[in-house]
Amino acid sequence: MRTPLGSTGLHVFPLCLGGNVFGWTADEGASRQVLDAYVGAGGNFLDTADSYSAWAPGNAGGESESIIGRWLAGRRDRDELVIATKVGMLAGADNLSPANIRRSLEGSLRRLGCGHVDLYWAHQDDPSTPLADTLAAFDGLVREGLVRHIGASNYSAPRLAEALATSDREGLVRFAALQPHYNLVERSGYEAALAPLAVAEGLAVMPYYALAEGFLTGKYRPGATVASARAEDGAAHLDERGLAVLDALDAIAATHDTTVAAVALAWLRDRPGVVAPIASARTVEQLAALLPMATLQLSPGERAALTAASAE
């Protein structure tokens, strides 16, 4: 199953596999198993960053890219995969100046063992660098064949609109994709202003934290103890609204004989502009709970029930 990635001409699996856990909560062996299982199930869309997994003790950044690169080295299907990475959030390289963009891409390509990346994200906005300079740097990389398409992550609607207008005015490559923080319990940040802009501009949207730090897998319940590096963040959603969302997810998952996570991801996949939610898995078992979202079809009534339960 493949879906068009906006106007890029690329076609991707409707679940993008996040690489933020590789080299952090998933060691190299576990990461390889997850990658094998994902591709074995038909997946082809990988998302990483030069800053993954710098937050883990002893890491400096680039660990996720390196694990993916070593995994890729033993395969012959690079051209069948859509690989995305990011620039602009790694400590010491947390800007979008032309020099940093090129230097960071060179490091990412070296770690990935690739001649190009399919989608290169500006990991966050950089108000200190003129948009025209940032976009000119990306444009040069696209013209050289080192990057196929570019995307914006963590941009506000006004800054994204300004960037698109700058590209049009200057004749530079445009952002083709948007990566916002968006899920069933975090809606307003995307829906209020970014969604209308993304739809109007034809941007492909890949939400991160698609499962709200694990909350939307259903493992966080009143009185439950969860062994996870993100347990505190996930449990933060255990309020009246969060419990209403879980009740709706439970009922729909039971109707379809599927997982709570698959239902949450299917709702997100069907939202305006969204092409492929991003979710990570540190084990093959966790991945198996996510994969049914690719074929799960929610009825209009089920989508409406989830939308109502999660209303902010």
Residues with a known catalytic role: 52
- Lookup result for tokens 């109007």: 200
**How many other C-beta atoms can be found within 10 angstroms of the C-beta atom of residue 254?**
11
Helices within the chain (DSSP H only)? 28-40, 63-73, 98-112, 131-143, 157-170, 188-191, 194-201, 231-235, 240-256, 260-269, 284-290, 300-309
CA distances (Å), 198 to each of 77, 151, 242, 271, in order? 31, 12, 27, 12
- Write the Ramachandran bin of 46: left for phi over 0, alpha for psi from -120 to 50, otherwise beta: beta
Cβ atoms 171, 140 nearer than 8 A: no
Cis peptide before 51 (omega within 30 of 0): no
CA neighbor of 229 nearest in space, from 15, 26, 17: 26
81 vs 101: CA distance, rounded Å: 23
